[in-house]
């Protein structure tokens, strides 16, 4: 038995908003692979819960009218990985969430929960940062959409106001069209582990495939929340796809990232792998985009 004070099951998004307003102390539970574990640990014991797990309207991947990819917040990791729209346009996201926990966790864990939990190590988060994802939030005043960088306020805290819940994550067409990306999770084991550092890179090459028209890079566990390295991105933009430019790009990430010492890994080690991951992820992204890397 879980130490739950009361459970309210939402029957629609509007009902969820109503329940959250009626029970301001309540915690939202989606798949529960974070919330239930925290209850077990005692951290969230004795609280009221509003369950949104039954809201099938928040599941699935589709296109918006403007071509943006819409991922319902309750879509599980395994369903994202298998989704044909994801595979065709932003396969790296499917690959990234395929590295969360183990198979059972990927069946219960949701992309909405992964981001609303507000932790820097979330495997989906760095890729969503790297693709300029937009977070859709529904609340008493209606729907608002904000860039994912603004959604994260600080470690463990996201921009959800009273009565609000996250209902979708959107990848704008301009963010994915013409881009290819790669995610690398560095962890101590291949399954059931949290990233020591995660790095997601994507690139848009020129028509002749020799120049990096745009490069975007984001990290998990390189700071208190997932983050981009704007200096490295600016450094690589417009440069040829050469070994030396890739190395220079990778070194530049150290100007932006701010990893810490923790029991999982030392700061120096995280900085070292952050550079190595940037180099490898950009190299693979260029290859996926059809480019060739010159000396």
Partner 1 sequence: MSKQYKLVRCTINGKQVEKMIDVRASLTDMLRDDYRLTSIKKGCEVGECGACNVLVNGECFNSCIYLAVWADGKEILTLEGLAGPNGEISDIQQAFIDEAAVQCGFCTPGFIMSAAEILESGKEYSDDEIRKLMSGHLCRCTGYENIFRAVKKTMLRRLGKNAEADAV
Which residues form the interface with partner 1 (CB under 8 A)? Answer: 1-7, 9, 29, 32-33, 36-37, 40-41, 51, 53-54, 78, 101-105, 107-108, 190-192
Closest distance to partner 1 from the beta carbon of 86 (Å): 18
Phi, psi for residue 266 in degrees, rounded to 5: -85, 155
Cβ distance to partner 1 smaller for residue 143 or 191: 191
Cβ distance to partner 1 smaller for residue 7 or 14: 7
CA dist 62 and 80 (Å) reads 11
Closest distance to partner 1 from the beta carbon of 231 (Å): 36
Positive or negative, the Cα torsion across 232, 235, 236, 237? positive
Closest CA to 284 of 177, 144, 182: 182
Cβ distance to partner 1 smaller for residue 85 or 108: 108
Cβ distance to partner 1 smaller for residue 4 or 276: 4
Cβ distance to partner 1 smaller for residue 32 or 220: 32
Instruction: Give the containing element (helix H, strand E) for 51.
Output: strand 47-51
Closest distance to partner 1 from the beta carbon of 205 (Å): 30
Residues contacting 287, CB < 8 A, separation 6+: 293
Cβ distance to partner 1 smaller for residue 37 or 143: 37
Torsion of the alpha carbons at 29, 33, 34 and 38, rounded to the nearest 10: 90
Closest CA to 156 of 117, 124, 194, 125: 117
The full DSSP string for 219-233 is EESSSSS-EE-HHHH
Closest distance to partner 1 from the beta carbon of 74 (Å): 12
Closest distance to partner 1 from the beta carbon of 250 (Å): 28
Closest distance to partner 1 from the beta carbon of 71 (Å): 19
Look-up: residue for tokens 């290819």? 180
Closest CA to 240 of 278, 286, 180, 284: 286
Closest distance to partner 1 from the beta carbon of 213 (Å): 35
CA dist 112 and 114 (Å) reads 5
Cβ distance to partner 1 smaller for residue 101 or 226: 101
Asked whether the beta carbons of 98 and 125 are under 8 A apart, the reply is: no
Cβ distance to partner 1 smaller for residue 2 or 63: 2
The full DSSP string for 56-74 is GGG--EEE-TTS-EEEETT
Closest distance to partner 1 from the beta carbon of 39 (Å): 9
């Amino acid at each position: 038995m879980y130490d739950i004070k009361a459970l309210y099951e939402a029957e629609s998004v509007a009902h969820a908003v109503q329940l959250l307003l009626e029970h301001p102390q309540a915690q939202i539970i989606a798949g529960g692979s974070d919330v239930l574990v925290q209850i077990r640990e005692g951290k969230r014991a004795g609280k009221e819960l509003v369950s949104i797990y039954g809201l099938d309207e928040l599941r699935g991947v589709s296109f918006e009218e403007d071509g943006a990819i819409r991922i319902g917040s309750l879509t599980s990791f395994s369903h994202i990985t298998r989704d044909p729209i994801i595979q065709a346009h932003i396969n790296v996201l499917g690959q990234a969430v395929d590295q969360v926990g183990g198979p059972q966790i990927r069946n219960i864990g949701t992309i909405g929960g992964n981001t609303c939990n507000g932790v820097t190590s979330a495997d989906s988060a760095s890729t969503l940062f790297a693709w300029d994802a937009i977070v859709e939030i529904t609340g008493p005043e209606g729907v608002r959409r904000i860039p994912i960088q603004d959604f994260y306020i600080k470690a463990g805290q996201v921009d959800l106001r009273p009565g609000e819940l996250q209902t979708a994550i959107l990848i704008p067409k301009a963010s994915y069209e013409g881009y290819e990306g790669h995610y690398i999770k560095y962890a101590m084991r291949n399954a059931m582990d949290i990233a020591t550092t995660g790095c997601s890179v994507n690139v848009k090459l020129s028509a002749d495939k020799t120049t990096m028209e745009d490069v975007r890079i984001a990290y998990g566990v390189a700071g208190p929340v997932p983050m981009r390295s704007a200096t490295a991105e600016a450094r690589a933009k417009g440069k040829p796809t050469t070994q030396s430019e890739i190395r220079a790009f990778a070194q530049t990430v150290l100007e932006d990232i701010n990893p810490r010492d923790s029991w999982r890994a030392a700061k120096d080690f995280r900085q070292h792998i952050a550079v190595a991951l940037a180099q490898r992820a950009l190299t693979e992204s260029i290859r996926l985009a059809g480019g060739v890397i010159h000396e």
